[in-house]
Amino acid sequence: MALSKQPYKGARDFYPSDKRLQKYMFDIWRQVCERYGYEEYDAPILEPLEIYLAKTGEEIVNEQTYVFEDRGKRKVVIRPEMTPTVSRMVAAQRQELAYPLRWYSIPNLWRYERPQRGRLREHWQLNVDLFGVEGVEAELEMISMADAMFKAFGASSDMYEIRLNSRKLVDEALASYVGLDKQEAHDVAKLIDKKAKMERGKFISAIDGALSSKSRQGGAAEKLLALLDVKNLKKLPAELAKHPSVSEIEALLNMLSNGGIKNARFDIGLMRGFDYYTDIIFEVFDKHPDNNRSMLGGGRYDGLVGLFGVPPVPTVGFGWGDVTLANFLELHRLMPELKPETDAYVALAGDIQAAAAKPVAELRQLGINLAVDFSGRKLGDQLKTASKKSIRYVLVIGESELKTGKYNLKNLQSGKEQSLSLKAVAKTLKEASQQ
């Protein structure tokens, strides 16, 4: 019985061409994070079960995560998300750290579930968090960064939309304004989250089902539906317009707009993770008709660090998965043509391996990445190999080159050939690799 060549279900092999794309995406994430003064951190892929139980229910953890017992009988989880981990790290050094903390990481995360479009069992996710800022400028910075990343990937602002809401505002609206009790509010919030996927009629009857007869008679359903149709902060009913979150969101939208980000809007129907978000939440949606979905999301979660027995730290963060990003880049034709890191492929003409070692070493010392063909095959075959590997240049070394010190450098894209000194070769290749 032959061994299976497939990677583990829901996980991917990264061949060099795949890894190149991943590196491209991660590099842009890193560049933008660092441009905003964020520092990279990392942590073990394994965490004790308990840190997830505090936030999620035991049932969900057991069904949707990889849990196992180690040899010391400890319950261990392969991390399904980074937020508890980073909260743990901040809590552990709460006193020593210099706030505000600007941290980011690109962890691989595992979730035990059935793979489908945009969702695998293993994926990588950019996590950006800002700890220690209470004001709305924290949200502004997060959303500006996310926007800067889209721009850095070559996206234009009509390709995506930023949506904003506030958990506090929604709580207030459902409880005081519509008049729902806790259970009703919870059920209704879940339904609102699914609204986009449902037909309107179905949604209305589902809402009716979630309400008690008392609420229904009080006109809660009508009030709720009218509220959900509000597209603009200014159209909110007077009772809600006074809520402090409203002016916060308004201020945020204004600041974003002043910063040139015009594709952000208020969306009262945005629910996102009821569990630990405490105030403003945001998502970025792909506007492509084939992929109308959330690509990244985040918000304020002021309570998580406090779960570790230290005073809480105000926190805003977001996460962005590599799979949703790749889908976005493909659909919008933003995938760049990526070349290998190798600057030139060295083709040897004749049996001169030993003699060619010297110029090759010299070039490498100058920072040039070279792959040498030892095969002894015909020059044409060596060129073919370089071409297949998508390496841009071939450096030919043979008797005449060694004698004259002038090397034949061929650009495989243009077909252009030049006879150059080693230094000139290095200069040409350096310039080419920086393009």
Which of 41, 43, 67, 115 forms a contact with RNA (CB under 7 A)? 115
Q: What Å distances lie between residue 18 and 7, 12, 21, 25, 26, CA to CA?
A: 14, 10, 5, 11, 12
Which of 272, 287, 339, 427 forms a contact with RNA (CB under 7 A)? 272
Min separation Cβ 306 and RNA, Å: 17
CA-to-CA distance for 398 and 380, rounded, in angstroms?
14
Q: Which of 184, 147, 139 is nearest to 279 (CA)?
A: 139
Which of 33, 90, 106, 109 forms a contact with RNA (CB under 7 A)? 109
Nearer to RNA, 83 or 233 (CB): 83
Site string for RNA, 162-191 (x = CB under 7 A): ----------------------------x-
Encode 214-250: b = buried (16+ Cβ within 10 Å), e = exposed: ebeeeebbebbeebbebeebeebeeebeebebbebbe
Site string for RNA, 122-141 (x = CB under 7 A): -x------------------
Site string for RNA, 340-369 (x = CB under 7 A): ---------xx-------------------
Map the footprint of RNA across residues 4-43, applying CB under 7 A.
6, 9-10
DSSP per residue over 177-200, as a string? Answer: IS---HHHHHHHHHHHHHGGGS-H
Which of 269, 273, 303, 340 forms a contact with RNA (CB under 7 A)? 273
Q: Site size for RNA, by CB under 7 A?
A: 51
Q: Which of 139, 50, 51 is nearest to 89 (CA)?
A: 51
Min separation Cβ 111 and RNA, Å: 4
Applying CB under 7 A, does 303 fall inside the site for RNA? no
Which of 75, 194, 262, 423 forms a contact with RNA (CB under 7 A)? 194
Applying CB under 7 A, does 399 fall inside the site for RNA? yes
Applying CB under 7 A, does 235 fall inside the site for RNA? no
Interface segment toward RNA; rule CB under 7 A; list 130-138, 155-163, 209-217, 379-387 = 379-387
Min separation Cβ 96 and RNA, Å: 26
Q: Which of 225, 231, 212 is nearest to 177 (CA)?
A: 225
CA-to-CA distance for 97 and 110, rounded, in angstroms?
29
Applying CB under 7 A, does 62 fall inside the site for RNA? no
- Provide the 3-class DSSP secondary structure of residue 356: helix
Nearer to RNA, 7 or 260 (CB): 7
CA-to-CA distance for 18 and 89, rounded, in angstroms?
32
Applying CB under 7 A, does 381 fall inside the site for RNA? yes
- Provide the 3-class DSSP secondary structure of residue 265: strand
Positive or negative: CA dihedral 80, 81, 84, 88: positive
CA-to-CA distance for 423 and 363, rounded, in angstroms?
8
Which of 69, 275, 330, 341 forms a contact with RNA (CB under 7 A)? 275
Applying CB under 7 A, does 265 fall inside the site for RNA? no
Interface segment toward RNA; rule CB under 7 A; list 18-26, 74-82, 216-224, 260-268 = 74-82
Q: Are 284 and 146 in contact (CB under 8 A)?
A: yes
Report which secondary-structure segment, H or E, holds 223.
helix 220-228
Min separation Cβ 75 and RNA, Å: 18
Nearer to RNA, 253 or 391 (CB): 391
- Which amino acid, 77? V
Positive or negative: CA dihedral 32, 35, 37, 42: positive
Applying CB under 7 A, does 100 fall inside the site for RNA? no
Applying CB under 7 A, does 116 fall inside the site for RNA? yes
Q: Are 327 and 291 in contact (CB under 8 A)?
A: yes
For RNA, the binding residues (CB under 7 A) are: 6, 9-10, 56, 60, 64, 80-83, 109, 111, 113-117, 119, 123, 190, 193-194, 197, 272-275, 319, 321, 349-350, 378-381, 383-384, 387-388, 394, 396, 398-401, 408, 410, 412-413, 415, 417
